Structure 1
Amino acid sequence: MAQVIVVGGGLAGLSAAHTLLERGANVLLLDKQPFMGGNSTKATSGINGAGTATQQELGIPDNAKIFFEDTKKSARELARDDLIAVLTGRSGDAVNWLQNKFGLDLSKVARLGGHSQPRTHRGSAQFPGMVITYAQMERLEDLAQSTPERVQIKKKARVSKLLKDESGSVVGVEYVHNGQTQTAYGPVILATGGYAADFTSDSLLKKHRPEFWELPTTNGEHCTGDGHKLAMAIGASAIDLEKVQVHPTGLVDPNEPDAKVKFLAAEALRGVGGLLLDNEGKRFVDELQHRDYVTGKMWENGKYPIRLVLNGQASSEIEWHCKHYVGRGLMKRFESGEALAKEIGIPPAQLKKTFDEYNVIAKTKKDPFGKKFFSTGEWKMDDVFNVAIMTPVLHYTMGGLEIDAESRVVGKDGKPINGLFAAGEVAGGVHGANRLGGSSLLGCVVFGRVSGDSAAAYLLQRTGAIAAKAAGRLGVVAGHLESGSGAPAQSQAREEQQTAKGEQTAGKSSGGKGGEFTAEEVAKHNKKDDIWVIVNGQVLDVTSFLPEHPGGEKAILLYAGRDATEEFNMLHDPKVIPRYAPDSVIGNLKK
């Protein structure tokens, strides 16, 4: 069967690819990065969903209508009712799909800023963005190995041009891979992300929001508006490009306060009860307000540094995040309010006054800053605290390519461009003037699935003669995607072979190149041009892998010459090493 080309390997592209396979289409996925995942892996708070099975089990009275109203209020004057209806109306099904198809734990539900109900889903341990994206990524890579006639993945493949036929329909792409320019044919789904790290010569950021040009960003360097520029070059319409979200809580590394790229503090940190305090130890804003509002109040208050403070109860509720941030040097733990007051540079009595006032506010529900939702438990000086310095950061671009409710890219003439679709952050208008926390992953999954549905339908329409054959293949592909016993015997056997193969690789890797090294020997290799780490008893030489690490170089450099097992296991499944960096294993740690 003919293929659909997916450009971008983040969550939107992956969701589109899996949906295409379910609908019987073949997939060619092109990603310019050495590893798929994109910014989706960095999402820390969770994925929104209204009317999900999890909410029903927890007795949360939420539905798509309530979610629609919350989103429309956040989007303000730029609300697109048709797109919001798709986003919110399909949100419950999207979360259920992730749980049912990929066996994901999304059993915890939190209320983030701007939401009238708890609806942001995450699991009990790792960053939800990473867990959700990796689950889809690994499944697609397995399919690329077991059924290469159905799925092809090309990394480090940069699309340079969209190809059109005489009628103006998009019929393929031109891309550069391994130094050679190649072409591929089929309808195209753009899932290339936003432009909040677009510091290039033709920067969309500088053109539309020059006042934000000097701000730090949470985005990877790949977020340079590639999909926008490709589509606009052939007549696509773009909307709301000036709507760039500045997130209030970027984590400041005390060792690199001026770093251009910042790690994002999960919005869930405020959702579980974290307080924002200025340099006088005072609150100045409703911590659960919309992101742009909180950012504005930080700028208006101007009393820096501003700290996000979690007490013992809030810290325990989101313990993994705190432990991760502390491990990276982005958060500090204090054993008492007195120690925290000393860090801020204020008398302990001043901090106690802030806590006492907040306790009264939480009980009476009368906050001068308008806060409506409060976590249980009192703020006391004899408690432990996890604290991080915050700064506003470029985070998300609401503007992008204009799409309709079927994810079809709209041209400057107001009509859909045949054969071209968009999903995720590259698609504009979905979130209006401001995006709600938890809706970025949701937008990727919902519109990834919508674009997959639409592109598959378009493909079948263009190739009607093979529609019947595609329908027959649907059951086979669906079987591949099922995690349970519904897979056909042949598919199951192939997956078992792949699993065995992976285990063999892991087994070989555990012995590495036969060496045994002491911790003292590993410690000598602690420089950027010669870096070893210990993970689960294995010794890894990650020098050549360093620039390609999806989490950035710093994540590895923090553990140069040391045991990184605890941090690694927080974030990764054990099979990550044999799958993505088997050659890095050089031996075992000598006991």
Structure 2
Amino acid sequence: MAQVIVVGGGLAGLSAAHTLLERGANVLLLDKQGFMGGNSTKATSGINGAGTQSQQDLGIPDSAKIFFEDTKKSARDLARDDLIRVLTGRSGDAVDWLQAKFGLDLSKVARLGGHSQPRTHRGSAQFPGMVITYAQMERLEDLSVSNPERVKIYKKARVTKLLKDESGTVIGVEYIRNGKTETADGPVILATGGYAADFTSDSLLKKHRPEYYNLPTTNGDHCTGDGQKMAMAVGASAIDLEKVQVHPTGLVDPNEPDAKVKFLAAEALRGVGGLLLDNNGDRFVDELQHRDFVTGKIWENGKYPIRLILNGQASSEIEWHCKHYVGRGLMKRFDNGDALAKEIGISPAKLKKTFDDYNVGVKAKKDPFGKKFFSTGEWKMNDFFNVAIMTPVLHYTMGGLEIDAESRVVGSDGKPIAGLFASGEVAGGVHGANRLGGSSLLGCVVFGRVSGDSAAAYLLQTTGQIVQKAGGRLGALAGQLGGSSSSSSSSAPAPTSNNAGATSGPAQSSSASKEFTTADVAKHNKKDDIWVIVNGQVLDVTSFLPDHPGGEKAILLYAGRDATEEFNMLHDPKVIPRYAPDSVIGNHKK
């Protein structure tokens, strides 16, 4: 039976796969990592949507038209209107789809920099990117077991080439899996992400923005522009490859200040009222300006270190994020302004003046740096503060493959390449010179769905071989797809390693019977020998380290330690038995 090949297991690829299944097409998903999710799992602020049910419930007067105007302004008039209309016009439906189809909580709505209305949606806990991506990932993996004739997932399958026929139509891919080169037939959706970690010999980053090449990045090492390079090799046109976004707020780890890969400080931290102060304790920018503007002001000001300061009210509003960053040693809590002033190296009087000046601007709604949107509540010295050191970081690549409004990849002749589609960060022209915060997840979902629709229609038109008519949601498969909870279907077994590349089931009884003390675990605290304690179990995660979607560092921070609190903040309890059961080697003996 004919299939569509989806290359990339991040949110864009997953959204495309689910849409293809809704439309009756079969799916082969190929991901070069050992664990799907990509950078989508790291998104910390939320997903944009205009005219959503959540906004209506909160009385927020937003619309696709207002969102279009904000996006066009942020893009510096360099993005394409037709793509912006797709992004913004389908944004409300995308958010509502996630809530209805996957049972997600996206009821909290915040305003990020560059937005004239609050429209960035998230739930009450955990990183929204992780929650949204995991919900789709788990549902798709369940389907790969219960309906293997419809869904196949191959992990650690690196696609190396797009295959074309004599007419120039893309008819499949060549990929390497288990050391063997294989081919797969079908139209292709590229969802391989960007190139903000492309430090390879043929680096797109070095070619188009050499001055950024030595900056740290928030991206996983899989973001090397694979999709862009493969498509251009078969005649695809690229657009805006020089437009690379440097995010102003990467978190500096005091223990590894020069680390190449940084965790991102969610833009939501500034959205709830966080202030940026230089080494003199002075503000120097509207914290809610566009990302490229804030980055430019950090470089222009040049008074390092730059600190992001959250007072008690802001900290409480985004408590989970603060707790997460403090737990990782990337943020410090201070019990009062005097302690904070000492940390900065200024007098309490100087810090108090900064706070007083800001309070005056809030009351008068006249900020010296042009800030227009303020959080309520005064900044006082007798408050507590959460504080982190910031640095600009490579974050997002606005450039990529040229696509049309149907997510078809455009060739160098200006015409769509038959059989080739793209969604997510691999595609360019959507965000122009600067992407708005909250639009990365949105772009993945919106254009993932558009590419799925287009590829399913193409499959039907060219082969006639489709399981159900396009748009069909009938039968047993539709029942499994349309559940109202993000939890896995109770009727579907957990994925096995057969085609999904994941394993399932409890730890082996022989392992479960072993006990290890805290001292035992503490001995295994190196990259090549790393144990952690999670919920009373001892895990040897050495072999899982390269596959962790949050990067190796997220695990290394807890090497030889009890990681229970941090793990439970980020993950559902079923993650270990579902994705890493073989890592459980015993129980923790207290």
CA distance 1:434–1:499, change in 2 (3 Å): closer
Provide the TM-score with structure 1 as the length reference: 0.96
Any idea what SS the aligned residue of 2:395 has? strand
Unaligned runs of 5+ in 1: 486-490
Q: What SS is found at the alignment partner of 1:174?
A: strand
Alignment of 1:256-271 (within 5 A): 256-271=256-271
AA aligned to 1:442 is L
1:474 to partner: Cα distance? 4.7
- The answer for the alignment partner of 2:455 in structure 1 is 455
Residues 281-301 of structure 1, C-alpha deviations (whole Å, 9 max, x = no match): 000000000000000111111
Name the structure 1 match of 2:559.
560
Q: CA deviation at 1:115?
A: 0.3
Per-residue CA deviations over 1:70-106 (Å, capped at 9, x if unaligned) read 0011111313110000000000000001001111111
Report the Cα distance in structure 1 between the residues aligned to 2:577 and 2:246, rounded to whole angstroms: 38
Flag the 1:473–1:379 CA change in 2: closer, same or farther, 3 A.
closer
Pairing 1:83-98 to 2, within 5 Å after superposition: 83-98=83-98
The whole-number CA distance in structure 2 between the counterparts of 1:104 and 1:472 is 23
8 Å contact kept, 1:146–1:498: no
- 1:523 lines up with 2:522 in the alignment: yes
Alignment check: 8 A CA contact 2:459 2:465 kept: no
Q: Paired residue for 1:110?
A: 110
| Shift, 1:371, TM fit | 0.3
Q: Rate the CA distance shift 1:505–1:216 in 2: closer, same or farther, 3 A.
A: closer
Give the AA of the match of 2:553: K
Q: Distance in 1 between matches of 2:578 and 2:545?
A: 16
Which position in structure 2 is the counterpart of 1:238?
Answer: 238
What TM-score, normalized by structure 2, do the two folds share?
0.96
CA–CA distance in 2 between the matches of 1:79 and 1:200? 28
Residue 412 of structure 1: SS of its match in structure 2?
Answer: coil
| CA shift in 2, pair 1:209/1:499, >3 Å | closer
Aligned to 1:584: 583
Q: Deviations over 1:151-179 (max 9, x none)?
A: 00011111111111111110100111111
Q: Tell me by how many angstroms 1:521 deviates.
A: 2.4
| d(CA) in 2 for partners of 1:468, 1:135 | 24
| Identity rate, percent | 86
1:160 corresponding residue in structure 2: 160
Write the distance in 1 (CA, Å) between the matches of 2:346 and 2:468: 73
How big is the shift at 1:10?
A: 0.4
1:136-163 per-residue CA deviation (whole Å, 9 max, x = no partner) reads 0111111111111000001111111111
CA contact (8 A) 1:196 1:397 kept: yes
Equivalent AA in structure 2 for residue 558 of structure 1: L
- Give the match for residue 26 of structure 2: 26
Q: Which residue of 2 aligns with 1:488?
A: none
Secondary structure in structure 2 of the residue aligned to 1:76: coil
Aligned equivalents of 2:370 and 2:59: distance in 1? Answer: 26
- Structure 1 residue aligned with 2:573: 574
How far, CA to CA, are the matches of 2:508 and 2:574 in structure 1?
11
Q: Which AA in structure 2 matches 1:453?
A: D
1:249 and 1:393 in contact (8 A); partners too: yes
3-state SS of the aligned residue for 1:162? strand
Residue 391 of structure 1 pairs with residue 416 of structure 2: no
Distance 1:235 1:219 in 2: 27
Q: Are residues 1:416 and 2:416 paired?
A: yes
3-state SS of paired residue (1:62): coil
Does the CA-based 8 Å contact 2:507-2:582 persist in structure 1? no
Do the aligned residues in 1 keep the contact of 2:262 with 2:393 (CA within 8 Å)? yes
- Superposed CA offset, 1:39-62 (max 9, x none): 001100000000001111111111
Aligned residue number for residue 148 of structure 1 = 148
Task: Decide whether aligned partners of structure 1 residues 228 and 517 sit closer, same or farther in structure 2, where only a CA change above 3 A counts.
Answer: same
Partner AA of 2:9 in structure 1: G
Once the two structures are superposed, the pairs formed by residues 16-95 of structure 1 within 5 Å of their partners are 16-95=16-95
Q: Return the offset for 1:203.
A: 0.7
Alpha-carbon deviation of 1:473?
7.3
- Distance of aligned partners of 1:83 and 1:351 in 2 relative to their CA distance in 1, 3 Å threshold: same
Q: CA deviation at 1:531?
A: 2.1
Q: Which has the higher contact order (CA 8 A, sep 6+)?
A: 2
After superposition, the Cα gap between the structure-2 partners of 1:365 and 1:461, relative to the gap in structure 1 and judged at 3 Å, is same
Measured in 1, the distance between the counterparts of 2:403 and 2:281 equals: 46
Offset at residue 580 of structure 1 (A): 1.1
Query: Hey, what's the Cα distance between the residues in 2 that align with 1:228 and 1:320?
Result: 36
Counterpart of 2:220 in structure 1: which amino acid?
G
Give the Cα–Cα distance (whole angstroms) in 2 for the partners of residues 520 and 575 of structure 1. 27
Distance 2:223 2:232 in 1: 16
Q: Give the 3-state SS of the residue equivalent to 2:34 in structure 1.
A: coil
Q: How many residues align?
A: 583
Q: How does 1:276-287 map to 2 (within 5 A)?
A: 276-287=276-287
1:342-366 CA distance string (max 9 Å, x none): 1111111000000000001011110
Distance 1:415 1:313, change over 3 A: same
**1:550 maps to which residue?**
549
Contact 2:494 2:504 in 1 (8 A): no
CA distance in 2, matches of 1:229, 1:522: 44
Shift of 1:560: 1.8
CA distance 1:373–1:446, shift in 2 (3 Å):
same
**Gap change, CA 1:473 and 1:124, over 3 Å in 2:** closer
Q: Determine the C-alpha separation between the residues in 2 that align with 1:391 and 1:47.
A: 24
Give unmatched runs, 5+ long, in structure 2.
498-502
Alignment of 1:86-485 (within 5 A): 86-464=86-464, 466=466, 474-484=474-484
Conserved? CA contact 2:25–2:467, under 8 Å: no
- Identify the residue that residue 2 of structure 1 maps to in structure 2: 2
Partners of 1:396 and 1:469 lie apart in 2 by: 37
Residue pair 1:506, 1:575 contacting (<8 A) in 2 also = no
- Aligned CA distance change for structure 1 residues 493 and 264 (closer, same or farther; 3 Å): closer
Matching residue's letter, 2:184: A
Measure how far apart 1:544 and its partner are.
Answer: 2.1
Query: In the aligned structure 2, how far is the partner of 1:473 from the partner of 1:300?
Result: 55
**Aligned-pair Cα RMSD in Å:** 1.9
Q: Residue type matched to 1:91 in 2?
A: S
Please report how far the alpha carbon of residue 510 of structure 1 lies from its aligned counterpart in structure 2 after TM superposition: 8.2
After superposing on structure 2, the runs of 4+ consecutive aligned residues of structure 1 that deviate more than 6 Å are 469-473
Residues 545 and 539 of structure 1: is their aligned pair in 2 closer, same or farther, counting only changes over 3 Å?
same
CA change 1:499–1:398 in 2 (3 A) is closer
Kindly indicate whether the alpha-carbon contact (under 8 Å) linking 1:518 and 1:589 is maintained by their aligned counterparts in 2: yes
Indicate the larger mover: 511-520 or 12-21.
511-520
How much has 1:547 moved relative to structure 2? 2.5
SS of corresponding position for 1:418: strand
Instruction: Tell me if structure 1 keeps the 8 A contact 2:538–2:587.
Output: yes
Q: CA deviation at 1:128?
A: 0.4
2:85 counterpart letter in structure 1: A
Larger helix proportion of the pair: 1
SS of 1:77 mapped into structure 2: coil
Instruction: Tell me by how many angstroms 1:465 deviates.
Output: 6.0
